[in-house]
Amino acid sequence: SPPAGSSSGSGALSPFDRRLKRKQKNWAAVQAEPAKCDYLREEVGGAAAAGGPGRPRAAPSARTFPLALDLGSGRGYIARHLTKETVEKLIQVDIAENALKNAVQSEIPTVSVVADEECLPFKEDTFDLVVSSLSLHWVNDLPRAFREIHQVLKPDGVFIGAMFGGDTLYELRCSLQLAELEREGGFSPHVSPFTAVSDLGHLLSRAGFNTLTVDTDEIQVNYPGLFEVMEDLQGKYILCGNMNVLCMGESNCSWNRKPLLHRETMLAAAAIYQEMYGNSDGSVPATFQIYYMIGWKFHESQARPAQRGSATVSFGDLAKIDGLLSRGKK
Give the least confident one: 116-125, 167-176, 297-306: 297-306
Output b/e per residue, 188-226; b: 16+ Cβ within 10 A: eebbbebbebeebbebbeebbbeeebbbebebeeebebb
Residues whose CB falls within 8 Å of the CB of residue 219, separated by 6 or more in sequence, listed in order: 40, 43, 44, 287, 288, 290
Q: Dump pLDDT digits (tens) for 14-23.
A: 666 777 777 7
Contact 80, 243 (CB under 8 A): no
Q: Can you give the residue ranges of every domain in the chain?
A: 18-299
Helices (H) and strands (E) counted in the chain, each on its own, are 10, 7
Checking if the pLDDT of 187 tops 60, the result is no
Q: Dump pLDDT digits (tens) for 230-269.
A: 887 753 322 222 222 333 444 444 434 445 667 888 899 9
For residue 191, what pLDDT is reported? 53
Q: Between 62 and 105, where is the model more confident? A: 105
Average pLDDT score, the chain? 77
For residue 267, what pLDDT is reported? 93
Residue 40: pLDDT band (50, 70, 90) is confident
Please give the share of the chain, as a percent, with pLDDT higher than 70.
Answer: 69
Give the least confident one: 30-44, 119-133, 201-215, 303-317: 303-317
For residue 98, what pLDDT is reported? 85
Arithmetic mean of pLDDT, 77-101:
90
Arithmetic mean of pLDDT, 121-135:
95
Give the least confident one: 2-6, 207-211, 217-221: 2-6
For residue 214, what pLDDT is reported? 92
Q: Dump pLDDT digits (tens) for 135-145.
A: 888 888 888 99
For residue 234, what pLDDT is reported? 59
Arithmetic mean of pLDDT, 178-183:
88
Q: Of 261, 212, 223, nearest to 52 (Cα)?
A: 212
**Residue range 18-299 in CATH 3.40.50.150:** yes
Arithmetic mean of pLDDT, 202-218:
93
For residue 36, what pLDDT is reported? 61
- d(CA 115, CA 95) in angstroms, rounded, equals 5
- d(CA 52, CA 213) in angstroms, rounded, equals 10
Give the least confident one: 74-78, 94-98, 213-217, 242-246: 242-246
